[in-house]
C-alpha cells in the first residue's frame, strides 16, 4: 500500500520519461512538464537538429534532458534506440506516445499512401514504441507508465480528417488492449484526449476565422487550449497518484465533449 503521508504522490524524481514527438508542440510541453515534476526526460523527433534544440531549451531551465532522433514508425530504429539505452543503463519508466501528424483531405480524394502514413504515425507508432518499453518494464518487474495521446476524434469524426480519426479511435482501444495485457505487471496504460490546442499542427485552423469561431462556440470554455494545460493530467498519469487507474482516456478539452 502506498503511504500517501510520506511520499509525494506526483513526484517523478528518479524516473526517466521518453516523450515521442517532443521537439515542439504538445510533446515539448509534456516533456517540459514532466521534467519540472522531477523526471529525466528523453526528447525524440525525426530530426537531430530540432531534437538538440529542444534539449537545449530544457537544459537552459536547469532540467535534465537528453535527446534521441528516430522515426517512431521504423521498428528497427526504435529497437536500436532501446538497445543503446540498455547498454547505457537508461531505463524508460514513463513513455508518452505523442508523435503524430495531420493530413486533411476528403476520404474520396485521399491516396492510400497518405492514409497509411497517418495511420502509421498516429497509431502504429504507439504499438511499436510501447512494445519495446513494456517488454523491459515487464522484464525488470518494475512496472511503468504508458500515456498515449488520443484526440477529440477518438470519440467523434470531423470531415476531412478520416485517417486521423480512424487512428485516434484506434489509440483509445489500443490503450485498453495495453491495459488488458500489462496491468498485472503494474503498468498503467492510459490516454489523454486533448481538445483543440494552439499548436503548429493546427496553425491553418487557428488562422481560419470560421474554424476559430467554431472552436470557440463548440466548447463551454469558449477558447482554444494551450499545450501546457495538458501537463497536469500527464504528470498525474505518470505518477504514483494514478497507480490504480488503467485503460482510461481523459479528455482535456475545456468541456467540449460534455455539452451539446
Active site residues: 164
Q: How far is the CB of 41 from ligand GCO (least distance, A)?
A: 23
Task: Please enumerate in sequence order all residues whose Cβ is within 8 A of that of 21, keeping only pairs 6 or more positions apart, or say none.
Answer: 27, 44, 45, 72, 98, 99, 100
Task: Please enumerate in sequence order all residues whose Cβ is within 8 A of that of 203, keeping only pairs 6 or more positions apart, or say none.
Answer: none
Q: How far is the CB of 205 from ligand GCO (least distance, A)?
A: 6
| Residue least distant from ligand GCO (Cβ) | 151
Nearer to ligand GCO, 45 or 194 (CB): 194
Q: Torsions phi, psi of 252, nearest 5?
A: -115, 80
* DSSP conformation letters of 11-47: --TT-EEEETT-SSHHHHHHHHHHHHTT-EEEEEES-
Q: How far is the CB of 149 from ligand GCO (least distance, A)?
A: 9
Q: How far is the CB of 85 from ligand GCO (least distance, A)?
A: 30
Nearer to ligand GCO, 142 or 203 (CB): 203
Q: How far is the CB of 256 from ligand GCO (least distance, A)?
A: 8
Nearer to ligand GCO, 53 or 102 (CB): 102
Query: Residue 64: how many CB atoms within 10 A of its CB?
Result: 12
The answer to whether 258 and 191 are in contact (CB under 8 A) is no
- Name residue, grid cell 521537439: 23
From its phi and psi, is residue 132 left (phi > 0), alpha (psi between -120 and 50) or beta? alpha
In the 8-state DSSP scheme, what is residue 83?
Answer: H
Nearer to ligand GCO, 137 or 167 (CB): 167
CA nearest 17: which of 28, 4, 6?
A: 28
Element (H, E) at 150: none
The answer to whether 160 and 102 are in contact (CB under 8 A) is no
Q: Which residues bind ligand GCO (CB under 6 A)?
A: 102, 104, 151-153, 158, 161, 164, 194-196, 201-202, 205
Nearer to ligand GCO, 77 or 110 (CB): 110
Amino acid at each position: 500500500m502506498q503511504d500517501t503521508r510520506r511520499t509525494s504522490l506526483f513526484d517523478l524524481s528518479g524516473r526517466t520519461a521518453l516523450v515521442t514527438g517532443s521537439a515542439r508542440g504538445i510533446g515539448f510541453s509534456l516533456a517540459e512538464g514532466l521534467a519540472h515534476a522531477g523526471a529525466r526526460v528523453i526528447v525524440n523527433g525525426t530530426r537531430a537538429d530540432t531534437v538538440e534544440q529542444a534539449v537545449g531549451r530544457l537544459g537552459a531551465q536547469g532540467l535534465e534532458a537528453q535527446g534521441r532522433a528516430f522515426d517512431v514508425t521504423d521498428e528497427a530504429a526504435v529497437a536500436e534506440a532501446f538497445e543503446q539505452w540498455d547498454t547505457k543503463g537508461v531505463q524508460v519508466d514513463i513513455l508518452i506516445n505523442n508523435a503524430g501528424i495531420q493530413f486533411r483531405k476528403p476520404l474520396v480524394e485521399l491516396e492510400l499512401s497518405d492514409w497509411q502514413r497517418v495511420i502509421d504515425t498516429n497509431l502504429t507508432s504507439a504499438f511499436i514504441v510501447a512494445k519495446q518499453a513494456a517488454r523491459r518494464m515487464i522484464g525488470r518487474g518494475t512496472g511503468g507508465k504508458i500515456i498515449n495521446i488520443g484526440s477529440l476524434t477518438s470519440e467523434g469524426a470531423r470531415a476531412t480528417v478520416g485517417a486521423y480519426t480512424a487512428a485516434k479511435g484506434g489509440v483509445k482501444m489500443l490503450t485498453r488492449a495495453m491495459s488488458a495485457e500489462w496491468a498485472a505487471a503494474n503498468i498503467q496504460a492510459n490516454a489523454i484526449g486533448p481538445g483543440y490546442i494552439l499548436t503548429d499542427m493546427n496553425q491553418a485552423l487557428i488562422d481560419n476565422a470560421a474554424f476559430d469561431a467554431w472552436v470557440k462556440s463548440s466548447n463551454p470554455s469558449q477558447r482554444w487550449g494551450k499545450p501546457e494545460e495538458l501537463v497536469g493530467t500527464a504528470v498525474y498519469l505518470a505518477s504514483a497518484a494514478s497507480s490504480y487507474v488503467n485503460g482510461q482516456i481523459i479528455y482535456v478539452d475545456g468541456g467540449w465533449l460534455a455539452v451539446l
